[in-house]
Amino acid sequence: MLTYIARRLLFLPIVLIGVTLLVFVAMSFLSPYQLVSSYIKSPEELKNQSLDDLVRKYGLNQPAHLRYISWMKKLLRGDLGYSVSANMRVTEAIAKRFPATIELALFSIIPVVLGGIWLGTISAKHYNRPLDHISRTFAIIGWSLPDFVFGLIMLMIFYGVLGWFPPGRLSMWADTIVLTGDFIRYTGMNTVDSLLNGRLDIFWDAIRHLVAPIITLAYLWWAFLLRITRSSMLEVMNKDYVRTARAKGLTEKIVVNRHVRRNAMIPVATVSGSMVLGLLGGVVIVETVFDYKGIGLLTATGAQQLDYTLILGTTLFYGLLLVATNLVVDVLYAVIDPRVRLE
Amino acid sequence: MKTKSLVLLVVLLVVSSSASVFAAPFDPDTFVYVGGAGGPHTLDPAAAYDTASGEVIHQVYDNLFEYVGGNLDEIGPQIATAVPTVANGLMSVDGRTIRVPIRKGVKFHNGAELTPEDVRYSFIRGMLADTAGGPMWMFFEPLLGVQTMAEVIEMAGGSGDFAEISEVDPAILRKAHDLVAATIEVDGDDLVFHLVDAYPPFINILTKGGSWASILNKDWMVANGAWDGNPETWSNWYDVAVEEMTAYERANGTGPFKLTVWDKSGGQVILSRFDDYWQGPAKIKTAFIKYISELSTRQLMLRAGDADAIYVGQEDLPQTRLLPDVKVVEGLPQITNTVLFYSFTIPVQGNEDLVGSGKLDGKGIPSDFFADVDVRKAFNYSFDYQAFLEEVAHGAGVTPKGPIPQSLPYVNPDQEYYTHDLTKAEEHFKKAFGGELWEKGFEVGIVYNTGNNTRKTALEILEFNIESINPKFKVNVIGLEWATVLDKLRSASLPVFVMGWLMDFPDTHNFAVPFMHSTGTFAGYCGQGLIDLAKAEFDELVDAGIKATDPVEREAIYYELQKRYVDLAVGMPFMEATTHRVMRDWVQGFVYSPAYSANYDFYTVYKVQK
């Protein structure tokens, strides 16, 4: 397994160079005056602006390959450049936004996966019976709803009407403490940092801000996991060894939990892996609706504004994330199913 | 099962009962304004030239002068102690020397006392740092008669066309510094400006609302890495990236609020009251400016009381008016103009999506299509100004009478302007290109930047009316991404486009230059044809207008400029928009000024629970 991991890691730089090269080639089709739009973001900012001066100042008139080489040189020094849309260096932007996304992903993945598997199991156990239909309908409604709409409904109910779960990552009083007081940022994750700082009030506030996005994400993703779990379980339920387990007189609970569910988990693990990746990559719409400033919103804003340093930096980062997550999922296969051997 | 249900019920009860705990309590000490997407570009006054940056700078810094009560007609002293006029002897008769007495006892946020040298340093350092696309042209033009520091280097005997400033001879750099340094001097407790020529709106440029004229603390700036005043080293700070400028994300002003933090990743700016403010402390202790792109989220925050004021676009105002406990202040005058521009020389090759065949054959337009004055007049008569104002802009504005907004001085109230008149439009279309246009027809693409639905609708009105005049006329309304619009503007490839101009300072000159001068912002986007026309018809008058100190003379010049612009149908100004503010009804002390970038002056606002 170690050889396998080492080999995959050796391919990492090639994958990353390939990905960034691809982005650079795509960006090279844009003229310098299209790229300068990241500095002049709207017609209202077009005041006495000398486009040529801006193009020259930011080196946008250089040939794409020279810009790529210059970018690579900086990269080797650990500098991903300055993002004009984020108003900070790309490394800093990623470092500040990614913890927010990790926090949301960590808190979301448990209800998403457990809920999805639970619904899938119920559906499979009650195949073609009312409970199967109900759980599938419930989940499919979630899958069919645009995340924007469902997010707004959640915000309307839980913030607008009940006042429970506000948008953003922290309330303003908490923000003031976190940003200006003696509060130490260890991880960038508000829940973790508040506990490490002994501030339960801020911890509780951070949780309040996480609930609505988590509910939204969970409901939207359950149908996906339900479908995979259900079909996988139905397939396993027809296997000989399950029939044998039942013939041995084991209770249905033991048959399902020990023999069926565990064996049905491989495709679920694959899907969960890509789900984690999706969550870590940021969920733009949910982040927009709930004003949850994570990496998805950062990337989307950068892309909209043709902020090519940010686009390249986040692409590189996503590439790294993708390879790492896939590697973890592959290793998990072997853990879940001892028949799988990594070579 | 029963246990599970019981647990769920208990959780629900607990959560429901704690709803009141979650509700945001009324906080009279904190003011929260939630703007739309984005945020400041920089907090350095020498580089800031966007409204979001100006909004923060407004609260943190002071200027030499201020508009009394926000009223543009009345300028009073702020850091100065008097407003220079010829009558009070602080301005020379020729308008070229202006003496400004500086107030004593004013403190910066770090406790240092303001001196005249701080004021001088702020402006000299801003000019020497001149950032590409920055606002410092407003100092260069009156003080040195140029637009950029590169031009000052030319004045000093160098070439302004350098790739790196390090290539320029140090002796020339020193001379360029001296030229700039000589424009402002400290004389005892006064500051003396030496202008190259009379420049009537110079005082406006220095007045509150002009973020570029904010006053910095020299010692603090130098201690934090800014230029130290050494004439030999200034070029090290020339046109550096904005994020490398000293006051990019930190501030030490004399304004009523201190910058607590610019939380870029969190999309907010937090300001705290400066208790030693020389005019007395503000009523609000803490102010938040947050940037949230989603309107529904902003509206919910306003409803919940988490926001005291929010940004709402004109098109979303009807639904916002329905919110309880919210007041909408409408009809606030702005000094702005939205204009439909024509490109006089349109490149044909590679521009087929907009000009079709590139010939006058009914399948496109020739390069000089809009160089024909009858085409431009016909377009101007085809637009339904009233319908646009009432149905698209919902009455939030007025129809202009030319490129100069009517609230500025020297606008001729009797200037005749175009109306929606399809008969006249037809007459001009028949005259255009010697009648050939009417016979053959044309097809043209007219462009708006995607996302701007108001401009899209304006173009659709034009499309509908023009196509109704002659079935051979075909107008295609095309939405392009802003980046593409910018690219095509640069090459003057857009036959027709819509653009707005919001004033820098309230003077006619600030509209005459961009709309009419051959070196103005828009001339370059409208092709060589317009540049040539501007040189012949406008440049001399525009240049004379700014140098004239006699109001009667200025009036005559600007009246003539407006007449020529309308007669030649250079463009189609169609909207002077008003603006509005949306706030909770507990917000008091709101002061509006068209000169302010800030939506709210946090010094004047306070909250009273209803």
- Identify the residue with better confidence: B415 or A279: B415
Place of tokens 């779990």: A229
Looking at beta carbons, which residues of chain B come within 8 Å of A172?
30, 32, 288, 306
Provide long-range contacts, Cβ within 8 A and 24+ apart, for A336-343: A336/A262, A336/A265, A336/A266, A336/A269, A337/A263, A337/A266, A340/A266, A342/A1, A342/A4, A342/A5, A343/A4
To the nearest whole Å, the CA of A63 is away from the closest chain B CA by 16
Confidence of residue B24 (pLDDT cuts 50, 70, 90): low
Query: Is there a contact between B212 and A48 (Cβ–Cβ < 8 Å)?
Result: no
Buried b (16+ CB within 10 A) or exposed e, B307-327: bbbbbbebeeeeebeebeebb
Q: How far is CA B408 from the centre of its chain?
A: 15
pLDDT of residue B12: 46
Chain A residue nearest residue B489, CA to CA: A33
Confidence of residue A273 (pLDDT cuts 50, 70, 90): confident
E strand intervals along A181-223 = none
Average of per-residue pLDDT across B428-448:
95
Out of A79-83, A220-224, B462-466, the most confident range is: B462-466
Looking at beta carbons, which residues of chain A come within 8 Å of B504?
47
Please give the radius of gyration of chain B, using alpha carbons only, rounded to the nearest integer: 27
What residues contact B268, with CB distance under 8 A and at least 6 apart?
A175, B288, B289, B290, B291
Position B75 pLDDT exceeds 80: yes
Looking at beta carbons, which residues of chain A come within 8 Å of B250?
none
pLDDT of residue A343: 56
Looking at beta carbons, which residues of chain B come within 8 Å of A40?
133, 486
pLDDT of residue A257: 80
CB contact under 8 A, B296 and A155: yes
Position B81 pLDDT exceeds 90: yes
* Spatial separation of the C-alpha atoms in residues A332 and A338, rounded to whole Å: 10
Position B22 pLDDT exceeds 70: no
Q: For residue A156, give the 3-state DSSP assignment.
A: helix
Q: Which of A45, A44, A61, A65 is nearest to A53 (CA)?
A: A61
pLDDT of residue B19: 46
Residue % of chain B over a pLDDT of 90: 83
Average of per-residue pLDDT across B498-514:
92
CB contact under 8 A, A56 and B504: no
pLDDT in tens, B574-592: 999 999 999 999 999 999 9
Enter the ipTM.
0.82
Query: Is there a contact between A222 and A115 (Cβ–Cβ < 8 Å)?
Result: yes
Q: For residue A181, give the 3-state DSSP assignment.
A: coil
Average of per-residue pLDDT across A158-168:
91
Chain A residue nearest residue B31, CA to CA: A172
Of A43, A54, A88, the CB nearest to B499: A43
Of B38, B487, B500, the CB nearest to A31: B487
Beta strand B30-35 pairing with B309-310: parallel
Return the residue in B265, B517, B526 with the most chain A beta carbons within 10 A, the one to mutate for interface testing. Answer: B265
Of B270, B485, B487, the CB nearest to A179: B270
Which pair of tokens denotes residue B605?
């606002």
Of A37, A43, A179, the CB nearest to B263: A179
Provide long-range contacts, Cβ within 8 A and 24+ apart, for A174-177: A174/A201, A174/A202, A174/A205, A174/A206, A175/B263, A175/B266, A175/B268, A175/B270, A176/B260, A176/B270, A176/B286, A177/A202
To the nearest whole Å, the CA of B95 is away from the closest chain A CA by 25
CB contact under 8 A, B297 and A30: no
CB contact under 8 A, B482 and A47: no
Confidence of residue B128 (pLDDT cuts 50, 70, 90): very high
CB contact under 8 A, B132 and A57: yes
Chain B residue nearest residue A163, CA to CA: B23
pLDDT in tens, A118-136: 888 888 888 888 988 988 8
pLDDT of residue A342: 58
Beta strand B571-584 pairing with B442-449: unpaired
To the nearest whole Å, the CA of B562 is away from the closest chain A CA by 21
Buried b (16+ CB within 10 A) or exposed e, A88-109: bbbbbbbebbbbbbbbbbbbbb
E strand intervals along A73-158 = 82-83, 88-89
Helices (H) and strands (E) in chain B, counts: 22, 19
Confidence of residue A55 (pLDDT cuts 50, 70, 90): confident
CB contact under 8 A, A48 and B292: no
pLDDT of residue A121: 87
Of B15, B49, B504, the CB nearest to A164: B15
Which pair of tokens denotes residue A227?
């479908």
Average of per-residue pLDDT across B384-410:
92
Average of per-residue pLDDT across B476-480:
93
* Spatial separation of the C-alpha atoms in residues A116 and A226, rounded to whole Å: 5
Mean pLDDT for all residues in chain B: 92
Looking at beta carbons, which residues of chain A come within 8 Å of B51?
44
* Spatial separation of the C-alpha atoms in residues A239 and A263, rounded to whole Å: 10
Angle at A241 between CA A238 and CA A244, to 5 degrees: 100
* Spatial separation of the C-alpha atoms in residues B510 and B530, rounded to whole Å: 19
Confidence of residue A48 (pLDDT cuts 50, 70, 90): low
Beta strand B257-263 pairing with B268-273: antiparallel
pLDDT of residue B9: 46
Of B239, B293, B487, the CB nearest to A288: B293
* Spatial separation of the C-alpha atoms in residues B279 and B63, rounded to whole Å: 13
CB contact under 8 A, A34 and B484: yes
Looking at beta carbons, which residues of chain B come within 8 Å of A177?
none
User: Which amino acid appears at position A97 of this protein?
Assistant: R
Return the residue in A47, A149, A185, A288 with the most chain B beta carbons within 10 A, the one to mutate for interface testing. Answer: A47
User: CA-CA distances (angstroms) from residue A33 to A30, B95, B213, B433, B499?
Assistant: 8, 40, 30, 34, 17
Strand partners, B478: B447
E strand intervals along A72-122 = 82-83, 88-89
pLDDT of residue B25: 73
Position B277 pLDDT exceeds 90: yes
Return the residue in A103, A172, A290, A311 with the most chain B beta carbons within 10 A, the one to mutate for interface testing. Answer: A172
CB contact under 8 A, B486 and A36: yes
pLDDT of residue B5: 46
Confidence of residue B481 (pLDDT cuts 50, 70, 90): confident
Chains A and B form CB pairs within 8 A to the count of: 148
Position B174 pLDDT exceeds 60: yes
Position B87 pLDDT exceeds 90: yes
* Spatial separation of the C-alpha atoms in residues B105 and B118, rounded to whole Å: 13
pLDDT in tens, A90-111: 999 999 999 999 999 999 988 9
Residue % of chain A over a pLDDT of 90: 23
Average of per-residue pLDDT across A308-324:
86
Position A337 pLDDT exceeds 80: no
Of A57, A96, A163, the CB nearest to B19: A163
Query: Is there a contact between B461 and B388 (Cβ–Cβ < 8 Å)?
Result: yes
Lowest-confidence segment of B21-30, B31-40, B284-293 by average pLDDT = B21-30
Query: Is there a contact between A38 and A307 (Cβ–Cβ < 8 Å)?
Result: yes
Looking at beta carbons, which residues of chain B come within 8 Å of A290?
297
E strand intervals along B55-213 = 65-67, 75-77, 97-101, 184-187, 190-194
Burial class of B244 by CB neighbour count within 10 A (0 to 12, 13 to 18, 19+):
exposed
Return the residue in A30, A35, A41, A46 with the most chain B beta carbons within 10 A, the one to mutate for interface testing. Answer: A46
Lowest-confidence segment of A285-294, B96-105, B553-562 by average pLDDT = A285-294
